[in-house]
Amino acid sequence: MMVHLFGGDATTAERSKELLGGKGSNLAEMASIGLPVPPGFTITTDVCTAYYANGEQFPAGLVEQVTAGIAHIEGITGKIFGDAADPLLVSVRSGARVSMPGMMDTVLNLGLNDRTVVGLAEASGDARFAWDSYRRFVQMYADVVMGLDHAEFEEALEIAKEDRGFYLDTDMSAEDWQALVAEYQAIVERETGAPFPQEPKDQLWGAVGAVFASWESDRAKVYRRLNSIPAEWGTAVNVQAMVFGNMGDTSATGVAFTRDPATGERAWYGEWLINAQGEDVVAGIRTPQYLTKAARERAGAKPLSMEEAMPETFVELGQVFDRLEGHYRDMQDIEFTVERGKLWMLQTRSGKRTAKAALKIAVDMAAEKLITEEEAVGRVDPGALDQLLHPTLDPKAPRDVLTKGLPASPGAASGKIMFDADSAEKAAAMGEAVILVRVETSPEDIHGMHAAKGILTARGGMTSHAAVVARGMGRPCVSGAGGLSIDGNARVLRVAGRELREGDILTLDGSTGEVMAGEVPTLLPELVGDFGTLMVWADKVRRMKVRANAETPADAQVARDFGAEGIGLCRTEHMFFDAARITAVREMILAENEDGRRVALAKLLPEQRGDFAGIFRVMAGLPVTIRLLDPPLHEFLPTREEDFAVVAEAAGVGIEALKARANELHEFNPMLGHRGCRLGVTYPEIYEMQARAIFEAACDVAAETGAAPIPEVMIPLVATRREFDLMKAVVDAQAKAVFAEKGREIAYLVGTMIELPRAALMAGEIAETAEFFSFGTNDLTQTTIGISRDDAGRFLTQYVDKGIFLTDPFVSLDVEGVGQLIEIAADRGRKTRPDVKLGICGEHGGDAPSIHFCEKTGLDYVSASPYRVPIARLAAAQAAL
Ligand code: ADP
Ligand code: MG
Ligand code: MG
């Protein structure tokens, strides 16, 4: 069947959105539950697909089925299509499976011509209405079907009103409209060389063809590509009897939501216009009126609300809202028309809503017993919660916007401008709120980024170092703000003809990319109210644990407040960038031999112990995965002359010798160079110090609080079992020694990151000694695809645009490729060691589709940045549903 009917007993039993499109499916559904829907029919999406497969020919038999469809409408309405006395008019509406901008706009009042317009005037007893409908039709048909520029028509209308001294369309009389129709038809004839089509059947097929053609329009294609919508889906076409909201003061048209889409409040929310048709409400020609009296009064508006102007129809509309919500069990977005006091429903669908509204509606509907708690958990998009999890700018506060960059990491922050990481850290240590402003950032800036409340860069995209690190840290970041000129030496920032200096206050909105002068007050997020309730429900269905990536007590605390059940990744190198320690770190790296290194490491031991103790106190009783030193050593090397001098003095060596040693450490491909456990293999004393610091801190905190953390010591970048075994021996030896010294034993695990393809393949063997695996999917993606994360920005967007990757594989796990390695490693690891603990700690641990994959693979936990913990909790719950 190519055509499905709706309206009356003939309403199709078919409901598939794949076949009928969203609009058609819901029209049939509304008709079947007895709501007042003007009769009509839907031409299926299959016909669209066949049309293109056939070299843009309508399939055989379609004409007959459409003719039968028109007869169905004629039967119910008692009007005849093309009849000169009382003509049937229809609308032709496109309708894909998902609502899609770029598709053809609707044509209303189709079936009017120079003869039927006279019949319509007589049958309705309202000539003004008939000619108003006709001028709308000619303009829409010319615009939408014939592709003529609608500006010319708008202009003709403006001139017509001006000539008559009118302001509103509603001032125009029947004769005025009639004169305009003649002008419109003249425009069509001039532009196309042919008169406006008079035959209603030709008009109908013209409109149907235009809907199909719009499926392959450039706009539609771009939208499909950006939203991963396959071309094979096609669009449906809905042909429906017209009902008229433009028949005078007892007629109207409107749009409504069954609940407030911004706040989720249980109050009808909408707009309507008396004596208007279709798009008038949203077109902005006249200011729409409020639906309810309460909303009108709140806004202090004069024109009567529908509740006041049409009280009976309003009550009826409210009953329909309740029916629809009860039936669809979700908030609905509705279009309706009132024709001479009679209510008609023209569309319903699930309403789009803000994250805040989504939470409130889900929780309220569960309380109303409209849906179950589990369904409520499934109703909220985890990604959308991001909006609610960062400090936001007070929307009421004034903003002095200087420029706009990319919204690289959400949230808002105000603080004093600092132009380098060290100054940022110093100012933060003195209790100042700081915004770090750089041309771009590098790993050396990490301590400054951490100390800052927000980060602003002039260069770099959404995956630049600044953007990725800031997102990981939960710091708001605006990147690539091209309008900035930064003079780091003079310590001035020029933008929009203004100059700001170090210490001046700047505000960033990482959710919009706005950069503002001065302080704009912010509001803090909290997991209370509906958010808190939904989280409790989510935790009931969740199987996987959720941990956080954190390396400071403050971040660990945020993670705990957001419900983290441990730390999945504590990167120890971030602790080394601290200004107080970097000199000792550099001393260690640049030392000529083990003795020199041990001297420097001895200075670092108490610092590291303090770091771990701080985190363990927050995480007492919970697992804390600590990754031993991982990055290439050169990341810590001094670059500035004065830094070399400081290190030389501390180490008691000459500057030149130091520089020579730094040169020796140069690597061509540091990400695949001397890093990860390779550092531990060559300099075991580094891992020794770190292991000792971990166990001493764990024993101390256990003694202090009575609750021991569960350290999970993680060896990075392992490729072979032998590497792992050597490092495990170093860790175990320290544990034994510390426990003997402290007279206390602490349960701990030693495991490895799986971030190299070889490690994934050899997981069976590695699991003989490794007690847990943590999938480091950032590096695993990098090493599997062979794309450098730090350089991918230059081409990755094109790769996504051209459909090579559906999404950025560093944002959403490449389940097909990289995912296989994870499955292999999980399988082989479990075969050797059935209780091997499995988790994921890459950026993907906070990404909903990646979390679904983790659930499917049976991982024990995911680990996300602290501010993404609630998102991960919800996504993990949904994955388990
Ligand atoms: P969109 O998908 O862009 O909303 P629609 O097909 O829903 O397009 O229609 C655009 C406008 O025309 C809406 O306001 C709708 O209510 C109105 N409309 C569509 N069909 C009819 C009809 N048969 N009678 C009256 N108004 C209609
Ligand atoms: Mg619509
Ligand atoms: Mg790694």
Q: Looking at 180, 211, 239, which one is the last position of a domain?
A: 239
Give yes or no: residues 218 and 180 share one domain. yes
Question: Domain check: are 519 and 542 in the same one?
Answer: no
Residue type, 557: Q
Which of 206, 239, 272 marks a domain boundary? 239
Q: What is the DSSP letter of 702?
A: H
Q: Whose CA is nearest to atom 24 of ligand 1?
A: 242
CA 630 to centroid of ligand 3, rounded, Å:
7
Co-location of 258 and 314 in the same domain: yes
Non-local (6+) Cβ contacts of 518 within 8 A are 400, 414, 505, 506, 507
Residue 548 belongs to domain with CATH number: 3.20.20.60
pLDDT in tens, 98-152: 888 777 789 999 999 999 999 999 999 999 999 999 999 999 999 999 999 889 9
Structural domain of 764: 529-565+611-631+677-880
Q: Tell whether 359 is covered by a domain.
A: no
**Strands of the sheet with 332-339, listed across from one edge:** 289-290, 269-274, 252-257, 332-339, 342-350
Q: Is 136 in the pocket of ligand 1 (CB under 6 A)?
A: no
Q: What is the pLDDT of residues 396-421, one digit of tens each?
A: 899 999 999 988 888 899 999 999 99
Judgement on whether residues 228 and 301 belong to the same structural domain of the protein: no
Is 38 touching ligand 1 by the criterion CB < 6 Å? yes
Residue 527 φ/ψ region, left for φ over 0, alpha for ψ in the -120 to 50 degree band, beta for the rest: beta
Q: Which DSSP symbol is given to 657?
A: H
**Whether residues 299 and 273 fall in one domain:** yes
- Residues tagged active-site: 465, 841
Residue whose Cα lies nearest atom 18 of ligand 1: it is 278
Which CATH number covers residue 308?
3.30.470.20
CA–centroid distance, 3 to ligand 2, in Å, is 21
Mean pLDDT of the chain: 92
93 lines ligand 1 (CB under 6 A): yes
Q: Is 339 in the pocket of ligand 1 (CB under 6 A)?
A: no
CATH of the domain at 395: 3.50.30.10
Whole-number Å distance, alpha carbon 623 to ligand 1 midpoint, is 57
Question: Which residue from 77, 89, 93 has its CB within 8 A of the most atoms of ligand 1, so it is best to mutate?
Answer: 93
To 5 degrees, how large is the angle CA 128–CA 134–CA 135? 90
In a domain, 380, yes or no: no
Instruction: Flag whether 363 is in a domain.
Output: no
Verify that 213 and 296 share a domain, yes or no: no
Which atom from ligand 1 is nearest to the alpha carbon of 94?
6
Structural domain total, the chain? 4
Look up residue 614 and give its two tokens: 């701080």
Is residue 807 included in any domain, yes or no?
yes
Is residue 669, in this structure, part of any structural domain at all? no
Residues 471 and 433 in one domain: yes
Q: Are 749 and 706 in contact (CB under 8 A)?
A: no
Q: How far is the CA of 778 from the centre of ligand 3 (A)?
A: 6
pLDDT tens digits for 199-252?
A: 999 999 999 999 999 999 888 887 887 677 888 899 999 999 999 999 999 999
pLDDT of residue 252: 96
Residue among 574, 586, 718 at smallest CA distance from 648: 586
Q: What is the pLDDT of residues 758-785, one digit of tens each?
A: 999 999 999 999 999 999 999 999 999 9
Q: Which ligand is the nearest neighbour of the Cα of 573?
A: 3
What average pLDDT does this structure show over 779-803?
86
Is 369 among the domain residues? no
Which two tokens mark 690? 């770190």
For residue 443, pLDDT beyond 80? no
More confident residue, 648 or 509: 509
In testing the pocket of ligand 1, which one of 223, 237, 346, 349 has its CB within 8 Å of the most ligand atoms? Answer: 346
Predicted pLDDT of residue 648: 84
b vs e for 136-152, b when ≥16 Cβ sit within 10 Å of the residue's Cβ?
A: bbbbbbbbbbeebeeeb
CATH assignment of the domain containing 142: 3.30.1490.20
Same domain, 430 and 455: yes
Q: Is residue 587 part of a domain?
A: no
Q: Whose CA is closest to atom 20 on ligand 1? A: 91
Q: Which residues surround ligand 3, an ion (CB under 5 A)?
A: 755, 776, 779
Q: pLDDT grade, residue 284 (50/70/90)?
A: low
Mutational test site, ligand 1, from 89, 100, 106, 132, max ligand atoms within 8 Å of CB? 106
The pLDDT value given to residue 93: 96
Q: pLDDT by residue (tens digit) across 577-635?
A: 777 788 899 889 888 899 999 999 999 999 999 999 999 999 989 999 999 999 988 88
Do residue 797 and residue 714 come from a single domain?
A: yes
160 with 56, same domain: the answer is yes
Strands 412-418 and 505-509: antiparallel
pLDDT over 90 at 854, yes or no:
yes
User: Does the beta carbon of 441 sit less than 6 angstroms from any atom of ligand 1?
Assistant: no
- Using CA positions, which residue lies closest to atom 26 of ligand 1? 278
Per residue in 334-356, pLDDT (tens digit) is: 999 999 999 999 999 999 888 88
Q: Among the three residues 523, 551, 579, which one is the final residue of a domain in this structure?
A: 523
User: What would the two tokens of residue 21 be?
Assistant: 């499109």
- Of the listed ligands, the closest to the CA of 254 is 1
Pocket probe mutation, ligand 1, options 105, 237, 333, 335, max atoms within 8 Å of Cβ: 335
Are both 626 and 477 inside the same structural domain? Answer: no
Residue 206 and residue 268 share a domain: no
Q: For residues 717 and 755, is the Cβ–Cβ distance under 8 A?
A: yes
| 347 Cα to the center of ligand 1, angstroms | 8
- Assigned domain for 649 exists: no
